[in-house]
Amino acid sequence: MLLVNVFSPVCSLGALLLLAACAETEPDTVELDPFFPEDAGAIIAPVPLAEASELDGQLFPSYLLTTQSGCSYPAIDNPTILDEFSAEWYGSHLNAAGEPPLTELAAGSPERLHIRFIWLRTFDQPMIVRIHEDGPGQASIEAKRLSGAGGYEPGEFLRTLERELSSAEWEDLMAVIAENDLENEAAVSCNIGNDGAQWILEVVENGDYSFYERWTPETGNVRNLGLHLLQLTGWNLEPIY
- pLDDT tens digits along 103-148: 999 999 999 999 999 999 999 999 999 999 999 999 999 999 999 9
pLDDT of residue 27: 34
What pLDDT, in 10s, does the model give residues 28-81? 333 333 444 444 799 999 999 999 999 988 999 999 999 999 998 888 899 999
Whole-number Å distance between alpha carbons of 166 and 59: 30
Q: Which residues contact 23 (CB under 8 A, 6 or more apart)?
A: 6, 7
pLDDT of residue 194: 84
Alpha helices in the chain (DSSP H): 13-19, 84-96, 102-106, 167-179, 221-231
**94 or 57, which is more confident:** 94
Whole-number Å distance between alpha carbons of 89 and 113: 26
pLDDT of residue 97: 98
Q: What residue segments make up the domains of the chain, in order of their start?
A: 44-231
pLDDT of residue 56: 87
pLDDT of residue 92: 98
- From the list 67, 76, 39, 94, the residue with the least C-alpha distance to 210 is 67
Whole-number Å distance between alpha carbons of 61 and 100: 12
Helix axes 167-179, 221-231, angle to 10 degrees: 170
Single-letter code of the amino acid located at 117: F
Whole-number Å distance between alpha carbons of 102 and 52: 10
Strand partners, 227: none
DSSP letter at 77 equals B
Report CA 24 to chain centroid distance, whole Å.
Answer: 28
Whole-number Å distance between alpha carbons of 167 and 218: 29
Whole-number Å distance between alpha carbons of 143 and 123: 19
What pLDDT, in 10s, does the model give residues 189-238? 998 888 999 999 999 999 999 999 999 999 999 999 999 999 999 999 99
For the chain, the 3-state helix, strand and coil shares in percent, each to the nearest 5, are 25, 25, 50
* Predicted structure pTM score: 0.85
**Per-chain mean pLDDT for the chain:** 87
